[in-house]
Amino acid sequence: MHRRASFLGANTPPWANRMIITSAHFVISAGSSSQMPHSGWPEIALVGRSNVGKSSLINCLIQRKNLARTSAKPGKTQMLNYYAINECMYFVDLPGYGYAHVSMDRRKQWGRMIDTYLTTRKHLCAVLLLIDLRHAPMEADVSMHRWLKHNGIRTCVVATKADKISRSKRLAHCARIHEHLRLTSEDALIAVSTVEHSGRETLWSWISTVMAFGHEVIPDSERFFR
């Protein structure tokens, strides 16, 4: 059961369906709720393991090369990075999870930050859960997806780096993700290549579809990171 709250509804702007980006800019790296924007615009959060390609996906979706900074060093994103799109919505890049070379204390700190955002942010509209198409989902990916679904948070599984897999094998790799996450016909799984820009229009269509829905606060007892 998805949690529903009106955001844009019938007033979803035309650019959302046509993927026309008229403006996009970095807003803030927020380390606490007090630093997050207060505009009330709907937010699409990106979560996934470190180095899965969240920054590259943002750049692909908004058709900018370097707005979201990519890094060869995993674990570089340490706060919630806000990007304003067409002055009516945000992409929110969350710290990557599962990076072994980050201290346990730092991982716990990131975990609490992600948990607090996902469970209390009233403007959260949906989550893009990024998984590397080349590999089977890790335990952390499976757990995250299960938790998001259990709590009714609208989620699209985005299989990144599709260009690294031959076209003839992409369907099989998607099927592997489908099996590991136990996806149903109601779940969204979109393979994307930021190099070929394949899957971009499909993903924007999904985002524009869910813009009419929102997210309710989740009680402490159901939080993912404890």
Confidence class for position 33, pLDDT limits 50, 70, 90: confident
- What pLDDT does residue 91 have? 96
Confidence class for position 226, pLDDT limits 50, 70, 90: very low
Please check the confidence at residue 81 and state whether its pLDDT lies above 90.
yes
Q: For 152-180, what is each residue's pLDDT tens digit?
A: 899 999 999 999 999 999 999 999 999 99
Confidence class for position 103, pLDDT limits 50, 70, 90: low
For residues 41-59, average pLDDT: 93
182 phi/psi in degrees, rounded to 5: 55, 50
Architecture of the domain defined by 9-15+22-220: 3-Layer(aba) Sandwich (3.40)
